[in-house]
Homo-oligomer: A and B are copies of this chain.
């Protein structure tokens, strides 16, 4: 199977949204009038972002999901994406699974594959995704990192920490009962991009970012871009770990206890969560709950934004905790 057969067999479909899709030097896309284009790019490397034996179908899902998550964090509606793929060899079973997982998520979001590149090389998946955000009287409706205000409530969507818990178990760093791993592994391998929530939060949230490097690290970008500080109620985040409830139900038969410190670290600095952290004025609280319902996405208030810069961590008794939670950095 040659390069062009591979593209035709697994990736090429008739262009719908694009004027020209796969098969020319460029794809041609006509943004709707009054729309801004939101663009994001993420690269996944074997051994860094996924294990070499991962199910190719879940890998296809995740490669697009992490990109859609960036659109979600901007409140952008997915339109299209390009896929550049370096493959050690053209393995048909792998390609079939990968393309199925990828295109199933793409279809679920009406996000069309419009072009890309295929080359031999160490397995590497680079997706660039395009979404649209309306302009309202010339002002962008995009959710940015820079809009948080002192007094805003701080929220996070969905679940936290499971991806890192699963990674630690898969790396042999600890053991948990099988159902606990299963719950956590779903979040590692098939994260849910919070696109519907991002769209529902336009005009409501004052700032947003998605959690890829860890809750506190990514919150730090909001604080820096908005020139504010925040208080985080640490123990309220532990309940957001999906595997935590499973673990608790097995606890009596499982003696190798996991410390609260470990649960905190997973929730605050686990990374790979692809949830949204966002801020909103207290007057928007009802609107936030309505956006959560509309998008069928759980949302939890975990703290607030302060005028004073810096991050304050409080335990369940409102005692201050030291911040020992380093976020992920590829080169630190």
Contacts and interface: CB of A to CB of B under 8 A. Distances in A.
Contacts of A271: none
Contacts of A82: 39-41, 128
Contact of A36 (B28, B43, B84, B146): B28
Given A24-B74, A25-B70, A120 B48 contact: yes
Nearest to A5: B331
A68 to B, nearest CB: 11
Interface residues of A, number: 72
B41 A116 contact: yes
Contacts of A20: 140, 142, 144
Interface in A83-101: 83-87, 89-90
Given A19-B36, A41-B117, A84-B126, A25 B329 contact: no
A172 interface: no
A181 to B, nearest CB: 26
Interface string A179-200: 0000000000000000000000
A176 interface: no
A145 B24 contact: yes
Nearest to A72: B25
Contacts of A43: 84-86, 117, 119, 121, 124, 126
A76 interface: yes
Interface string A209-226: 110000000000000010
Interface string A27-63: 1111101001111111101111100000000000000
Interface string A1-36: 111101000000000000110011111111101001
A131 interface: yes
Given A26-B74, A331-B2, A331-B6, A121 B48 contact: yes
Given A26-B70, A48-B120, A122-B122, 19 more contacts: A3-B331, A4-B329, A20-B142, A23-B225, A25-B70, A25-B73, A25-B145, A26-B40, A26-B71, A41-B115, A41-B117, A43-B121, A45-B121, A46-B121, A47-B121, A48-B121, A49-B119, A117-B126, A122-B124
Interface of A: 1-4, 6, 19-20, 23-31, 33, 36-43, 45-49, 70-71, 73-74, 76, 82-87, 89-90, 114-122, 124, 126, 128, 130-131, 133, 135, 140, 142, 144-146, 208-210, 225, 329-332
15 contacts: A3-B331, A20-B142, A24-B225, A30-B36, A30-B37, A40-B82, A41-B84, A41-B115, A41-B128, A43-B126, A87-B331, A117-B126, A118-B330, A124-B126, A126-B126
6 A-B pairs with the lowest CB-CB distances in the bound complex, closest first:
A45-B121, A126-B126, A25-B73, A26-B38, A43-B84, A128-B128
